[in-house]
Each structure stands twice: as C-alpha cells, then as structure tokens.
Structure 1
Amino acid sequence: MTTSVADHDGVTVLTVTGEVDLATAPALETAIDAALDAGPDHLVIDLVAVSFLASAGMAVLVAAHQRAGDKTTIALVAEGPATSRQLKMTALDQVFDLHSTLDAALASVRRA
C-alpha cells in the first residue's frame, strides 16, 4: 500500500493505492494522522486505486472521522466491489460522504 498527499485548491487529498489490510492499516493511519495534523478544513481520502479494503482499514477510517470531529470534513472516494461495496455493507456510507469520483468529492466539500 502507498499513499500520497496533494493540495487541490485548498482541499487536502490523500490518495491510497494497493491493499489496506491488517498489515498496512497502521501506515494508512499514520498518513491520515499526518494529513489531519496540518489542520485542513476538508480531507478527501481517495480509495479508487485500493484493490482490497479489510475491516482494519475501515476501522482506521472510523478513527479518523472521530479524530477529525467538527474541525475537518472527511469525504471518501470509492467505486467498485473492493471499496464502496464494503463501505455500504457496513453502513459507513452513512458516516462519510461517499463519492464515485475525486471531482465529485471535491465539488461536494467545496460546497460545504
């Protein structure tokens, strides 16, 4: 699993690639924590290139949501059976704003 962070006109985007499982979830947590430490108003976590999202990865996302509180809005980009299906089956689509494309997520958080 790899991560990268970019600024998209004031919106922090964390792009995740590869498998997010028990072994790689701590690295994801570190990357999210680093992004949140910068104090962004909005954080978009792009999971489109994630090929496997285990429960450990979903737990990291929930912990990030709790840590962000009211300071940072978190939106997820997820599409397909490896990510969006699991997020919907676990009702995390009710916790996070879930989008199928990065452009849709960016447009949504800019309206917020």
Structure 2
Amino acid sequence: MADCEDVTNTPPDANLTDTMTTSFADHDGVTVLTVTGEVDLATAPALETAIDAALDADPAGLVVDLAAVSFLASAGMAALVAAYQRAGDKTTIALVADGPATSRQLKMTALDQVFALHTTLDAALASFRAG
C-alpha cells in the first residue's frame, strides 16, 4: 500500500454533497484510514473497499478516522462491523469519532463496545503505543 492514497467515490448522479473521500497513511506501523464527507448507502461500498485494502496489508493496527465525516448512516456502520469481523484477531481496529455526526450513532448502536472509540487521532495512535 502506498504511504498515502486518495480515493473518491462520487456516484454519476450525485451532487457534491454526496462525496466521500478516503486516504491512507502509515503512523509507525499503524495504518490510518481517514474518511471525509458523507458515509451513506451510496458511499458505504467505497468505504468497505478502502477498509479491505487496508486489511489486505495485515496491519497490526488500523485506525478509521471519522472526524471529518458529516453523516454516518447505518450502511457505514455495517461496513465497520464487517471490517471488525474480517480483521478477527489479526488486526485491532480503533475509531476516531467525536460529535453528533459519528460518535452519537456509534454509542446508540453500542458499537463503542465493539471498537475502541477515541475523540482524536492522536489519542487513537497513543492507545496503540501504550499496547
């Protein structure tokens, strides 16, 4: 996987508010997948594809940074659950989510009990360093 890769998913009939982008970065062996925009039924498949690409590299840790996500629909949460199931014991997944667009939904659906939930990327990365 490249050090930083950008992927944009914009359906042909979408307006600019339907855009979701993802990018990868490596932080001392932890893969960070940064997601920006709206994660809904139209864009969730692109999120799944990005997560699968990250997991294909078998990282010890994966942080999905949702801090710049403005809308997280159930399809996006389903993509996160599928990632958790696929990762199994090989890769620990942590989420960065703060605010009503992301953390509220994750807490209401008890996904904060499945994933380590952090308010900042620095906090998520620190959790991997702490072991």
Superposition TM-score, scaled by structure 2 size: 0.85
Indicate the SS of the match to 2:78.
helix
Runs of 4+ in structure 1 over 4 Å off? none
**1:78 and 2:100 aligned:** no
**1:49 and 2:65 aligned:** no
Aligned pair partner of 1:59 in 67, 78, 81 = 78
Task: String of CA shifts for 1:7-30, please: whole Å, max 9, x gaps.
Answer: 011110000000000000000000
* 1:17 corresponding residue in structure 2: 36
Indicate the SS of the match to 1:32.
helix
Higher relative contact order (CA 8 A, sep 6+): 1
* 1:89 corresponding residue in structure 2: 108
Indicate the SS of the match to 2:22.
strand
The alignment yields a C-alpha RMSD, in angstroms, of: 0.5
Q: Please list every run of 5 or more consecutive structure 1 residues that lacks an aligned counterpart in the other structure.
A: none
Q: How many residues align?
A: 112
1:110 Cα deviation after fit:
2.0
* 2:126 corresponding residue in structure 1: 107
Superposition TM-score, scaled by structure 1 size: 0.99
Indicate the SS of the match to 1:33.
helix
Distance (Å, rounded) in 2 between the aligned partners of 1:101 and 1:39: 23
1:4 Cα deviation after fit:
0.1
* 1:39 corresponding residue in structure 2: 58
Q: Please list every run of 5 or more consecutive structure 2 residues that lacks an aligned counterpart in the other structure.
A: 1-19
Aligned pair partner of 1:4 in 23, 34, 39 = 23
